[in-house]
Structures are given as C-alpha cells and as structure tokens.
C-alpha cells in the first residue's frame, strides 16, 4: 500500500531532487489549514512557494503548500490535517541548512516555524531557558546576557538560524570544540508526533531516568516529529576571553599546529582555519586585518578564568611559532575580538565576490590526517577544474571545503557534485565521517552506506517506526533512497522511481 497518496501534477525544474513529481494539495486540505492558522498564514501560489523550494544547498524542491503556525497546538492540528489527507509534512526553520534537510523532496506541506519565536522562560538560578523553535540562535544569548549567561552552540549562521533547526541538525559551530554541539545543551523537548499528539521527552535536568529520547531526537533532521518547545542549558559568560590570530606562510604548518595544540593538552573553545582564498575574500569585504600574503591563518580562542586564559594563550603562541607561524596576534578587548570573528562568521558570504555559487562540504577527519586530506581534496578540485576555498573547524577535524562555481555554465553543477562526492569519500577513507554538523539530509543520504551496513540502517529505520513517523515527516532525508525519492541525493542525476497510477510511493 502507498504511504503517501499524492497525485502527479508536474515535474520539478532543473536541479531538483532527481525527477520527482509534484503532488497536488487539495482545496479541502488548504481550507483545513486556513481554518487552523488563518488564510494569511497559508501559502500555495507558485510565487509564494518559490522562496521555500531551497535552502543553502544546490538542490531545489518545491512544496505544494506552506503553513506558518503560531502555537504548538496549531502545529499539532496541521499535522493531523495533513495526515488525514495522506500528505507529508516538512518542518522548516530559517532555511539556512546546508544539507537539503528542509526541502520538500516529494512535495507536501512545509511547516515553517518562524512565527514561533518566543523565549518563554529564563531561569538564571538553574541556568535553563524554555524557547520556541523559531527563536534565532543569537537572540537567545542576547536575551540572557543580562543574567551573565549565554547559549554556547554558535553556528556561523547564528544571526539567522533558529533553534528548532539547530535541534534538527544537531548544529555545531566554532565554539563547540570545548563546549559541545547542540545535543550537549538540550535538556527537554515538546514534540508533535505523526498522529498529532503533543508529548514531552527529557525534562529540565541533565539526568532524566530512562532511555535518552531527547538525545535520539536531536539530530534526527525532522524525520521523527516537530519540536515545538525546547529546554536548553545556558552557560556562564567567562571571566576572560582571549582571541589569537596565528599567521602561516604554509597551509601544512597551520595544520600541524592544530595537532600540536591539542597534543599539548590544550582544548581551546575555538580553533578555526582559513586558507588564502578565504583570507582575500574576507579582507576585501570586511577589512579584518588578515594578512593577504599568508597561505593560512588560525583563529584560536580560549576562555575561562583570567589566570588560565593568560597561561593558555602564551603556550598556544609558543606552539604556533614552533610549528612555523611567522606571527601570532592577540586580541583581549571585545572590539578587537569581534573584528577577527566577523571575518570567520562572514567568510562564506564573502566568497560571492569570486563566484555566484558555492558548494560547502562537511567532512570530518582525524586531526592527524588534516594535512593529507586537505592536500588530496585540493587536488580533486584541481582535477575537476574547480576553485576551492577552505574555512573550517580545525580543532575537531571538521572540514568545510567550498567548491566555487557558476551554475549557469552547462555541466558545471554535475562536476561540482562529482568532486564533492570524491572529497567525502576521502574523509571516510581517512577514518572520518560524511558530516560534522550540517547533517545528512538530502545531500549525503546515499553516502551512508560508506559508514553503515544494512543491519545498522535497519536498526535506525526502526526508530522512525517507534515514533510513528514512517515517511510522513520529512521523507527522503538522512537514509539511503526509498522508491520515489530518487537514487541519489542530488538533482538531475537519476530518475525517481515509483510513479504508479498517479500515486507516489516512498
């Protein structure tokens, strides 16, 4: 029996998920959605849907409707309505994801959670906050700063990305080297399940008895349910923070310095690397003071007590010089640190000065293999005739090679995807992984077999069944292809299967 009974309407345009047909959301379903949230907050015209057919990946896939609820109860009613009409739902935050996780791969109803942006509770004594999923990451830290607190996970898109999306992808960021990714800071969740039930998992403390369902949900990429409230752990603002910029004439020396710092027993709160192309792009845009003749820089931050940051920064300076750095600069005052970090946080957008498109990868390798994998990935890009810019979380080996291109040039997108797959394979062969923080999503689901066998995959799929989600929540994400999802996670490479009698099987 088909899980999703969606009539074929048309074929999505170029660079969408395979050749997957659109379904048609009936007028009855649209009327039901309008009755729940109001006509203003239901969109179904092509011009309105256009802005919901993409995130920050190459793929495109247009939903049949977008609904913007304002409460958890409205989310639950929307899910129930979609279920009655056998239509999938796709939770969506700010659309800043970089793995295609918020794309409507087989059509359906996108539940955009951006109206649910309230900080519901701040408990400074217990260092927790209760928030809705549409709260922007940085806005939470701003809201609790007056209590001497902050929210530690800080994706580079933290000025725009939302906490619900961070939960879905288990988002990381520069400072997760020491502080941990999203899963380390989420204590409890209110969820809407596939039958529309509202349930809580976890709680307000770190040691809730029983199976860690909160941990299972964080990073599940919208495939198990919709988070409508999030209990997060807050951290104290450090007494002292020092930011260092280590300048290297050789990329290999910068990579070796990363290994040396960690080997010395120092775990900075952040340890980032930027190569020459990133340096030039950032300097032209922001004038942060990065040296244009350097081949690489390390942006290193330590925080904590004044005595410890002074000691650690001195030792890091020594290690970098011993590893080949020609200079190490240090910023202690907020203005100087902000300027250095502005370059890192804006590095991807600055690449628009060179090419109209970029494809950011998210592989992980052991720190001791950084030099080797960086060299090999650059060689892959060169072989395909592509420019590559590297900016990444060097401290935990989370690489972000950015393949730069112009999608208007015929055949270029296909080359980018092929080169990206080779680079991902390099990471796995080096003992690493296909994602460090961006998630698997649509982009890398067919790479999962490089890491997991059929038994592993079957065990993970059972979790979806346990939550009652099947393919009603965010179909075609995180796992290898189902019928109807296409054979790979990128557009225009293979035909989707499963068009039978106007019904779409997944």
Mean pLDDT, rounded, for 118-138: 98
Comparing 225-234, 278-287, 306-315, the range with the smallest average pLDDT is 278-287
Give the chain's domain count. Answer: 4
How far is it, in rounded angstroms, from Cα 276 to Cα 279? 5
Is there a domain that residue 279 lies in? Answer: yes
pLDDT given for residue 58 in this prediction: 87
Query: Among 316, 349, 382, which residue terminates a domain?
Result: 349
Q: Is the torsion defined by CA of 282, 288, 292, 298 positive or negative?
A: negative
Mean pLDDT, rounded, for 135-163: 96
Query: Among 349, 379, 402, which residue terminates a domain?
Result: 349
Q: Is the pLDDT of residue 298 over 60?
A: yes
Tokens of 125: 């004594």
Rounded to the nearest 5 degrees, what angle is found at the Cα of 116, between the Cα atoms of 226 and 460?
A: 15
Task: Judge if 110 and 124 occupy the same domain.
Answer: no
pLDDT given for residue 206 in this prediction: 83
Predicted confidence (pLDDT) per residue in 224-252, tens digit: 999 999 999 999 999 999 999 999 999 99
Is there a domain that residue 182 lies in? Answer: yes
140: domain CATH number? 3.30.465.10
Q: Is the pLDDT of residue 5 over 70?
A: no
Task: Judge if 153 and 68 occupy the same domain.
Answer: no
Is there a domain that residue 20 lies in? Answer: no
Is there a domain that residue 212 lies in? Answer: yes
Q: Is the pLDDT of residue 24 over 50?
A: yes
Confidence of residue 501 (pLDDT cuts 50, 70, 90): very low
38: domain CATH number? 3.30.43.10
Burial tier of 342 (Cβ tally within 10 Å: 0-12, 13-18, 19+): middle
Mean pLDDT, rounded, for 182-211: 94
Is there a domain that residue 451 lies in? Answer: no
State the average pLDDT for the chain: 89
Predicted confidence (pLDDT) per residue in 431-477, tens digit: 999 999 999 999 999 999 999 999 999 998 899 989 999 888 999 99
Is there a domain that residue 189 lies in? Answer: yes
287: domain CATH number? 3.30.70.2190
Mean pLDDT, rounded, for 353-360: 92
Query: Among 349, 383, 415, which residue terminates a domain?
Result: 349
Mean pLDDT, rounded, for 209-220: 94
Task: Judge if 102 and 190 occupy the same domain.
Answer: no
Task: Judge if 483 and 383 occupy the same domain.
Answer: no
**Using an 8 Å Cβ cutoff, are 387 and 381 in contact?**
yes
pLDDT given for residue 404 in this prediction: 96
How far is it, in rounded angstroms, from Cα 330 to Cα 351? 26
Is there a domain that residue 34 lies in? Answer: yes
421: domain CATH number? 3.30.70.2740
Task: Judge if 340 and 246 occupy the same domain.
Answer: yes
Confidence of residue 483 (pLDDT cuts 50, 70, 90): low
Task: Judge if 232 and 248 occupy the same domain.
Answer: no
Task: Judge if 297 and 196 occupy the same domain.
Answer: no
Q: Is the pLDDT of residue 12 over 70?
A: no
pLDDT given for residue 237 in this prediction: 97
- Going across the sheet that includes 357-360, the strands are 325-331, 240-248, 296-304, 270-275, 387-392, 401-405, 357-360
Q: Is the pLDDT of residue 21 over 60?
A: no
328: helix, strand or coil: strand
pLDDT given for residue 157 in this prediction: 92
Is there a domain that residue 12 lies in? Answer: no
Predicted confidence (pLDDT) per residue in 28-55, tens digit: 999 999 999 999 999 999 999 999 998 9
Mean pLDDT, rounded, for 363-382: 95
Domain range enclosing 144: 119-236
Q: Is the pLDDT of residue 503 over 80?
A: no
């Amino acid at each position: 029996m088909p899980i999703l009974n969606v009539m074929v309407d048309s074929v999505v345009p170029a660079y969408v998920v395979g050749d997957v047909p659109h379904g048609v959301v009936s007028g009855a379903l649209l009327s039901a959605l309008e009755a729940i949230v109001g006509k203003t907050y239901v969109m179904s015209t092509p011009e309105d849907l256009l802005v919901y057919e993409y995130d920050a990946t190459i793929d495109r896939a247009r939903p049949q409707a977008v609904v913007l609820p304002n409460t958890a109860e409205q989310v639950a009613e929307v899910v129930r309505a979609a279920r009655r009409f056998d239509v999938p739902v796709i939770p969506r935050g700010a659309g800043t994801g970089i793995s295609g996780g918020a794309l409507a791969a087989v059509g359906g109803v996108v539940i955009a959670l951006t109206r649910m942006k309230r900080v519901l509770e701040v408990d400074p004594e217990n260092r927790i906050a209760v928030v809705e999923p549409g709260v922007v990451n940085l806005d939470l830290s701003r809201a609790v700063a007056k209590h001497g607190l902050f929210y530690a996970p800080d994706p580079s898109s933290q000025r725009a990305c939302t906490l619900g999306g961070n939960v879905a992808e288990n988002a990381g960021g520069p400072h997760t080297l020491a502080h941990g990714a999203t899963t380390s800071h989420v204590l409890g969740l209110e969820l809407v399940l596939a039958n529309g039930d509202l349930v809580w998992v976890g709680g307000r403390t770190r040691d809730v008895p029983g199976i860690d369902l909160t941990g299972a949900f964080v990073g599940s990429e919208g495939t198990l349910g919709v988070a409508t409230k999030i209990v997060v752990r807050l951290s104290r603002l450090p007494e002292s923070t020092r930011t260092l910029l280590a300048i290297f004439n050789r990329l290999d020396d910068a990579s070796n310095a990363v290994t040396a710092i960690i080997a010395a027993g120092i775990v900075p709160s952040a340890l980032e690397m930027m190569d020459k192309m990133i340096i030039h792009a950032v300097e032209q845009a922001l004038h942060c003071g990065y040296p244009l003749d350097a081949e690489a820089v390390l942006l290193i931050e330590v925080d904590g007590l004044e005595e410890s940051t002074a000691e650690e920064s001195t030792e890091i300076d020594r290690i970098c010089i011993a590893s080949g750095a020609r200079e190490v600069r240090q910023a202690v005052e907020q203005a100087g640190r902000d300027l250095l970090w502005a370059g890192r946080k804006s590095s991807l957008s600055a690449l628009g000065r060179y090419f109209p498109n970029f494809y950011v990868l998210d592989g992980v390798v052991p720190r001791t293999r950084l030099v080797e994998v960086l060299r090999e990935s650059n060689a892959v890009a060169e072989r395909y005739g592509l420019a590559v810019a590297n900016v990444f979380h060097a401290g935990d080996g989370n690489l972000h090679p950015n393949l730069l291109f112009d999608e208007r040039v015929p055949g270029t997108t296909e080359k980018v995807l092929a080169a990206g797959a080779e680079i991902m394979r390099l990471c796995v062969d080096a003992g690493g992984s296909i994602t460090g923080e961006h998630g698997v999503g649509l982009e890398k689901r067919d790479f999962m077999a490089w890491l997991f066998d059929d038994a592993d995959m079957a065990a993970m799929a059972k979790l979806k069944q346990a939550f009652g989600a099947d393919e009603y929540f965010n179909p075609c994400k995180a796992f290898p292809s189902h019928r109807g999802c296409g054979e790979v996670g990128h557009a225009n490479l293979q035909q989707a299967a499963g068009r039978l009698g106007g019904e779409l099987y997944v």
